[in-house]
Amino acid sequence: MKYLIKFFSAFLLALTLLTAAGCASTEKHEGTGEYVDDSVITTKVKAMLFDEPNLRSGEINVETFKGVVQLSGFVNSKADINKAVEIARSVKGVESVKNDMRLK
């Protein structure tokens, strides 16, 4: 009976460690907490772009991975690109901004 309890305890410990390792982030995969943070950043950037009257925010795509915001799409001017990048950089939690926007 003692061995069965020790085996069961060791099994639960191993299962717990494997579960925790499965939620950890890697270079190309985000952990659950990071995914939520990135979703919040993306939402905030999109909202701020939408609130900017001179930008056509529907034409700017926003994606975030580990705090790096990627902006893509087509805009009317270099000033629009600069404004969108400035807005994205101002959001709390943004580590950097990757600009893939193009002029129409």
Give the pairing of strands 68-75 and 60-65: antiparallel
The structure tokens 């009257």 sit at: 53
The yes-or-no verdict on residue 18 having pLDDT over 60 is: no
CA dist 90 and 47 (Å) reads: 12
- Strand, coil or helix: what is 9? helix
Structural domains in the chain plus CATH codes:
30-103 (3.30.1340.30)
Per-residue pLDDT, averaged over 77-81, amounts to 95
Provide the pLDDT confidence category of residue 57 given band limits of 50, 70 and 90. Answer: confident
